[in-house]
Structure 1
Amino acid sequence: MGGILPLVSLGALFLASTTASAPTDSATASATKLCVQLQIPVPVVATNYHYDQPQVDSSIDAMDWTVNVTTWSSSNFTARITGRVDINKTFEIGAQLCVPSQKTSKAGILQITTPGLGFGREYFDVEVDPRQYSYVDAAINKGYSILSYDRLGTGRSEKPDAYDDVQIPVEIEILAGLTKIARSGNLLSSSKAPSATNNASAEFDFLPTKIVHIGHSFGSYINSLMLTNHPDLIDGAIFTGLYPNNIEATDPLNVLNYNHAFAKESDPVRFAEYGSGYFVLDNEETLQKLFFQKATLDPALLTYAESIKQPEAVGEYSSEDGNPLAPAPDYKGPLMFFVGEFDNFVCNGNCSGIYSEAFARQLYPGVAIDDLTYYLQPNTGHASMLSTNASAGYEVMLEFLDFRGL
């Protein structure tokens, strides 16, 4: 879940040299990372829809919306469509680009991370004991460069209309747009900030040799759908918190299982920028229920999750019915599904023995047999990067990439 942490103002370019954990292989020449804050305009052309649903302008409204869309007599969201919304806009996306402080053999490989619902990019760059929990540090220590961004409506990204703008088709095209900008080598120059005044700007002004996508939960879902429409944009992917399985999991739209509050009412200072249609998970107890497993729960990480949580837009939920997972037959790169053993959201609390290779191959028939795989992180819930065994999971993920030349 996203973050309200001290960052530079919007549009400013900020360079930091940050100590990472000790290098874990010979590819890394230094134990530091250089990071720059970016504000990237991303043009989007997409087709959204307007849905008949209650307005959310208070926490009472948030509960009313929840009951309205989940009761037995309610119509699904595709039946609630009242009109088409053609999107042709440019959205500002907040991002952070980090590179190894010295050249490595993998520095040209750029990883792009996409967080799930309720999180921003801080999910991948945990500030509680980063040597143990920061995926960004783990990737840097292996020599990679990494771009972390806030999805639309979260963190330092633009917060547009939560009903008609912040929907899945737009988020797919934002991810595709960011990837195209990165692949063209224009991340730094496209940012709404000075690009040549910094002594180390050349470190960030590079043309990636390969691009890998790392997603979590809803972010993995967006990634998967992006590969249906844009199969040639990336060279490999790891989808955490997403798992093809052979059980009928709990309907992810059944938000009666959640406790949402109107964002601005929940915290008028922290969420002052958020208007109608944005709600937030209300407290640590809800976060624990949805994201954690007691065996690998550090209370400090639960408190951290509460401190960085981000609002969710109504449109993200209403657009799910019309955008189900779909095959990406033309994607041919390697792909790993990575999930916590006791993921409550994906597998009703037990993911052991339910992976469906047939379903996975239906989604990705063009991926080589040995390049389509899965991994169960032991004793872990939905937020695997906020578990006490996170670093062991990172080793699995990064070894999967390394073995395949990524």
Structure 2
Amino acid sequence: MSNSHGVKRVPSLDVLRGIAIVGTLLTNIWLFTGGVGDESIGRLDGRWEGDISLLSGVLSNGKFLGLLSILFGVGMAIQFESAMRHGHRWPWRYEWRSLLLLADGFVHFALVVDFDILMGYALVAMVVAPLLRLRTRWLVVAAALAGALHLFLQFRNMAGITAYTTPPLPEDFSEDAASTGDWSNLPTPTYFEEVAGRIGDFWNSRYEAFIIVPPLSAFLFLSGVLLWRAGLFKGDERARTLSRRLAIGGLGLGVPLTVWEYLPLPGGDITGALSRYTIAPVVAFGYLGLTLILLRRRGGSGFFARRLADVGRTALSCYMLQNVVALILFSGWGLSLGPLGSVGTIAAWAGISGLLMLAASLWLRRFRQGPFELVWRAAVDAPFRKADRARAHERREPEKDASLSAS
């Protein structure tokens, strides 16, 4: 999730990554606090608090995950250009990097949460990475094919399969608990029982990551690569024009489709089924364009922009940390602060987001990367250190000979 050494950081990318991380938490926080399902929240909290949960879902559900996927593709493009500059064979290093991400994702899945995204990202990245050697026009074709496959699968499944929205509830979750708010009769598993349950139910829990999302992720990764190559993150007029088009197109199309399912209009069931995996990514492109417009107008140097950039620079660490903190706060074996109503859930999201910003800012005063990023960098580079030293030595020898000749 971070740039490689030797690549000048793009400040707007760091801010966008930070927004994607805290925005993804806004989607997931409801699962931690017990606010599962708009209907149950409305019964527990009253109408206006139910509206808060509804608004949160409209703004966040799938949108920031889509944004994070686009930015993952941008990072892939940066890694490819860095590899070409340094004479590295592509995509061998990146495939090793993806294998490490897969292992990291499994550990995060098993020990923390069952809705981890890293494993799915790693598997799709292994397939997409070799395509970056193609010319841009063929990447456009590949992106179009991935998008078409995703739409085909969505429309094929729409009639008979309910879209995945949240991890499954416990088997003994009852309507009485949802309606009364009395969750005391639900058994509280220990941490190790939760770990064993996730591992035992591995394939069912990974249905979203391994079955539903891969074609969409491939499309968004390739879109991020194409946007990077198109110069979206440069400061010229072309970049500003592209940002405006993304904002107007993404929000102009995505927002009406997002709210369509909540209006008394025909076709609401269709837009509802397409909301998380098809309409939300459209909105994500709009968020991307709008954020870049605002950052360019304001210089991207405000207090919150800097704090979000800190989170973006430590994106992998913050993504894992936010889930660990939420798990400790709200799980039955932890502090068991839930279930919370809508206001409490939003307050929990704001509090954890603030903690991430503070921790990232303090950490980056002493280190260049986040803690997981430092370990990650060492593991990624480890198999190639000998070859890199030999290559660096070969480059130094001609330079030394040339200086001796000149003298």
Please say whether Structure 1 and Structure 2 have the same fold, judged by a TM-score greater than 0.5.
Answer: no
Structure with more helix by fraction: 2
TM tier relative to shorter chain: under 0.3
Structure with more strand by fraction: 1
Structure of greater Rg: 2
- Compute the TM-score of the two structures, normalised by the length of structure 2: 0.25
